[in-house]
Structure 1
């Protein structure tokens, strides 16, 4: 809100049927108030000050649109003085620019960015499907209320079919997010893609892709400079480079496509250069979608002035294009609610009890707990309980990180390593309480790479110490990619090759720290079997629907 006073004071009634409660925002096109109708409905009233005809035409286009990601326009009214008012849905949630400034000044986590992008894509694609371009997308016009992303200020929207040509020839928009072709009077849907990509860039980095000391400098950078992609996560650099392309004909075609490319990049797919036909001298490449050509004017005619300075841009980079390959794998970014994580973790833990019991029974019958082929119930109990505790730790630990994308891998490994150390301590304690020893060290284990940490022994009397247990399980949990065993989007419910690899890793760890090989392989493979069978698995054909449901539920 600016420091200037609003035209109308609280409790005034300039528009029949509504009582103003407070001013919300002042802008180049008018003032917005929070008001209450005579019937008690909360609304936002927008008083148009300048360019009334432009705003009125855009508002009329959207008067009957209904979409959960758009701020609804209720009516257009005129007061006794002939002033034009737009009656809109009141959104109590914070605007995206406030969320960014207050909570994420250095940039948002990728999962949070995707939530905003998904809502933005749904709302803007709805407009584009009806032949309407927004033309003024910016963080100040995007809200989130009760988890639902909403796009507001659609009064600047314009029909984008070539037959609909208005008299308006001025450049509209906020300079930080303004597509270069607006300087040529082109208003195709690609300008909304460009603006949205600039917003996503800011959400990820905390700064806009182009900045300068003056409006003219910023506008010139939009026209001539390539965006600096280096502050972005490496996997997303080609995605934003594609969407911020200067030429609208090669820019990402829609926000839905941008979301697909975003998810595909996070799933680990490398960029692939698209196959493009080379135009003949008398054949220019066709644009992605029809754009309106209007008489060329300065972009600064109505563009907002920069309100603050941002760091200058490093040398330009050439953006790379790629064709997205859709795969919903363990590194896909998903909006998984806390309740869903808790439910799936609980279900997995319950199933783990059953599968651990079966595995332990098979082990006791086959004599896998003793090098002599004989076993005791307490040996089986110790093995089963340790396996169950380890499985529970992995099911809960990996579920907490599920859907957070590849940028969380280092923290995933660290957290799982700490959980593994805790499992090791619990396993050692169980064996002490039950007075059960592990099978003796094999002849090949007379020495290891590590048998102590300083004065802390890992082995004593041919049995692992508590530190030895913690070292083995900590390394086992930290080295293996356990999210590939438990994620709902893993390739298969049970992968035999993964079990063999886990057995090999367990054997190598046993040799390295003198942990009994039979126990090391038994626990490694046993836990891998239990978690794969217990963790929920979603058939690949059903994953797009699951992603959509998670997006709708999360808002």
Structure 2
């Protein structure tokens, strides 16, 4: 007879009541020496104020440029759009004033303009002022927080001015304006090239007009009248000096271009934002606090 083995009862393993969570209790820790501090700690170190440039203490302009650098692209675009809209309004007023003076010159008192000619000259004057204002406002927005030297800026301004000069003369030729007849009878501008013998029909050539308009933009510091850190909203002396530069440059037509240049700068100053006196005082307080308290 076969003997059967009694069944062996195997009890299933009981699950642990608590999960085993790894800890670092049994892990040896390698002790590290604390980082060596400098010989002179922050507490005992002599205070050195922040400096800008050649060892100079910061000014309110440095603080203001720091705030300008914090603007995002959307804020810059919004400010630029607002300035360009203001430039349209300012250009309309400036062109109306300039045109009222322009038609009273000796050249036109004996040669009244027809309604068509008046419209053509008004459109050209407004185009020149508005396009120049927009170009300076756009470049000024890119440079408002930078410390770029004047040299590179003048190179850019010359290129922009040359392009604008080409565009200005192209618009004038499209409107069939007579630049030569406008200034040919004025004898007290002896350095102006009276006969414009640079192209057919004794009219200014595009290259000639572009070069002198580029010089007008490169010689004058237009960008300094766009920055928000300028000390005043308007600078009439600057407008006079810009007009003087345009007076010495043979940019047709004369004597209209000095007036166009001066009013263009005033339109730019009207359109570009600047910090108020209260904001400048706040920036000065911050700069003084940096200098005194670090």
Same fold, TM-score > 0.5, yes or no: yes
Shift of residue 434, structure 1, vs aligned partner: 1.0
Residues 391 and 530, structure 1, Cα contact 8 Å, conserved in 2: yes
- Between structures 1 and 2, the one with greater strand share: 1
Shift of residue 546, structure 1, vs aligned partner: 8.2
Shift of residue 392, structure 1, vs aligned partner: 0.6
Residues 102 and 256, structure 2, Cα contact 8 Å, conserved in 1: no
Alignment of 1:24-423 (within 5 A): 80-81=26-27, 83=29, 171-172=36-37, 182=38, 185-189=39-43, 248-249=45-46, 252=48, 257-258=49-50, 261-262=51-52, 265=53, 322=56, 324=57, 326-328=59-61, 332=65, 334-335=68-69, 336-368=71-103, 371-373=107-109, 374-375=112-113, 376-405=118-147, 407-423=148-164
TM-score using structure 1 length: 0.40
For 2:265 and 2:141, how far apart are their aligned partners in 1? 15
Corresponding residue of 1:427: 168
For 1:328 and 1:546, how far apart are their aligned partners in 2? 8
Corresponding residue of 2:264: 527
Q: How many residues align?
A: 251
- List gaps (5 residues or longer) in structure 2: 1-20, 287-294
Distance change (3 Å), C-alpha of 1:446 and 1:504: closer
Deviations 1:208-257 (A, max 9, x none): xxxxxxxxxxxxxxxxxxxxxxxxxxxxxxxxxxxxxxxx54x51xxxx3
Shift of residue 408, structure 1, vs aligned partner: 3.8
Shift of residue 81, structure 1, vs aligned partner: 2.1
For 1:474 and 1:528, how far apart are their aligned partners in 2? 16
For 1:523 and 1:343, how far apart are their aligned partners in 2? 28
Residue 516 (str. 1) matches residue 256 (str. 2): no
Residue 495 (str. 1) matches residue 212 (str. 2): no
**Which one has the largest radius of gyration?**
2
The CA RMSD over aligned residues, in Å, is 3.5
Shift of residue 463, structure 1, vs aligned partner: 3.6
Deviations 1:404-452 (A, max 9, x none): 11x3432222112111111111111111111112322432445559x99
Q: Could you say which structure has the greater relative contact order, defined with CA pairs below 8 angstroms and 6 or more residues apart?
A: 2
Residues 424 and 473, structure 1, Cα contact 8 Å, conserved in 2: yes
For 1:353 and 1:337, how far apart are their aligned partners in 2? 25
For 1:477 and 1:542, how far apart are their aligned partners in 2? 30
TM-score using structure 2 length: 0.72
- Between structures 1 and 2, the one with greater helix share: 2
Corresponding residue of 1:476: 216
- List gaps (5 residues or longer) in structure 1: 1-13, 17-77, 86-155, 157-167, 173-181, 191-247, 266-270, 272-320, 549-555
